[in-house]
Structure 1
Amino acid sequence: MKLYAITAVLFLFIDAVMLSLVMKPLFTRHIGDAMRDSPMMAPAALFYLAYVAGLVFLVAAPALRDAVPERAALQGAVLGAMAYGTYEFTSMSIMKNWSWTMVATDTIWGAVLTGFSAWAGVMIMMRLQG
């Protein structure tokens, strides 16, 4: 539970900064009319809770058990690229005004954010346990 809480706080804080500084202006520039004035918090919360749970279960907890934070970083990055890429490439294939800049930026961000959050969560837990 501690690993989940630590990873979730890291993930949410870092993503909130990126969403406000980079992603919102990028998406507004390309699909502004299709965006809500403010996001619906319930679906966003459900995504974040479930995504971090999957990240901890599939990546961070096994890496912590084996004391290999580097593996958490790599596997987290792969998971992030797959998850964010699924959204982006699907959207690119069916939505008007979607751009390759949005696809690349968000897919890379998903890899970096997920990999870093998994790695940092494992590192913090190892220090707390040691």
Structure 2
Amino acid sequence: MLHSIKIYLLCLPFTLLLDYIWLAKLMQGFYQTQLGPYARVRGATIIPVYWAAAIVYLLLPLGIVLFVLPRVNQERLAVSSLAWGALFGLIVYGVYDMTNMATLERWPVRMVWVDICWGCFLCGATTWFAAAASPWMQ
């Protein structure tokens, strides 16, 4: 259990850093354009509800540690961790984006696919990072 807690605590800043680079630096304009009236924008920046964002960043690595890492094959670490992590990202981001697509008027299809692909990458990369770091966290 202590090992899982260490891995979880290692995944938190990694996930947050990757998502920050993606959302705030690389794709900020894309998300502002795609979200339009749905976005909480002040000036030229999307301002999240911080407590809700904190819950997301606490839950995403928790899901990876509890549900994905146990499936990773240590003998094929790179392929296994990237594949299982990407599948987890597809499920989590897919549920979010497709729920929005089903329930919100004019939810942008382009953003759905970009966001799902990002979720696959983010969760795959985080799973790989956690699996690769795991032996050193014993």
TM-score (norm 1): 0.86
Aligned-pair distance for 1:121? 1.3
Larger relative contact order, structure 1 or 2 (CA cutoff 8 Å, min sep 6): 1
Identity between Structure 1 and Structure 2 (%): 26
1:67 and 2:71 matched:
no
Corresponding residue for residue 10 of structure 1: 14
Contact conserved, 1:3 with 1:61, CA < 8 A, in 2?
Answer: no
Corresponding residue for residue 56 of structure 1: 65
Contact conserved, 1:72 with 1:119, CA < 8 A, in 2?
Answer: yes
Corresponding residue for residue 116 of structure 1: 125
Contact conserved, 1:30 with 1:97, CA < 8 A, in 2?
Answer: no
1:33 and 2:40 matched:
no
Aligned-pair distance for 1:21? 2.9
Q: Helix, strand or coil: the match of 1:96? A: coil
Cα RMSD for the two superposed structures: 1.9
Quick one: structure 1 residues 7 and 84, their matched pair in 2 at CA, closer, same or farther if it must change by over 3 Å?
A: same
Runs of 4+, deviation exceeding 6 Å: none
AA matched with 1:93: A
Provide structure 2 residue ranges, at least 5 long, that are not aligned to the other structure.
Answer: 42-46
1: CA distance between counterparts of 2:82 and 2:22? 19
Paired positions, count:
127
Contact conserved, 1:73 with 1:118, CA < 8 A, in 2?
Answer: yes
Provide structure 1 residue ranges, at least 5 long, that are not aligned to the other structure.
Answer: none
Aligned-pair distance for 1:71? 2.0
